[in-house]
Amino acid sequence: MKVATSARCRYALSSHKAASFEQAKEEAGGVSEWLGLELHRIREERGLSVEDLAEKSGMSVTTIKAVESGTREARGETVANLAKALGLSFDEVWRLQRRRG
């Protein structure tokens, strides 16, 4: 089921429709998928490409894409690096995670 949910999330992200994005967030099964969607949204709001974020964070494009799509769990150091590169504080990331609940 996680694979199907990830596929729906990726489709919603690629369609760039707010309603689909909101639906994808609702359908996201785990915290990693949901947080990845939020990081993707924030990256796009900041006008950054995946390549820009990779350069700013020191992470690979592959890793960032995997985190955003929910196919890779976003753990502590990964989240910290992405948050810093996006200009987010720890408190802001914490609020993103708590908002889901």
| Contact residues for 27 (Cβ-Cβ < 8 A; gap 6+) | 5, 8, 9
Containing structural domain, residue 72: 30-100
Cβ–Cβ < 8 Å for 28, 12: no
pLDDT at position 5: 44
Q: Which two three-digit tokens encode residue 97?
A: 């995670």
For the chain, the domain total comes to: 1
pLDDT at position 46: 95
Q: CA 19, CA 15: separation in Å to the nearest integer? A: 10
CATH number for position 77: 1.10.260.40
Residue 1 lies in a domain: no
Which H or E run contains 45? Answer: helix 31-45
Q: CA 17, CA 58: separation in Å to the nearest integer? A: 29
Low-confidence ranges of the chain (pLDDT < 50): 1-5, 8, 11, 15-18, 21, 25
pTM of the model: 0.67
Residue 70 lies in a domain: yes
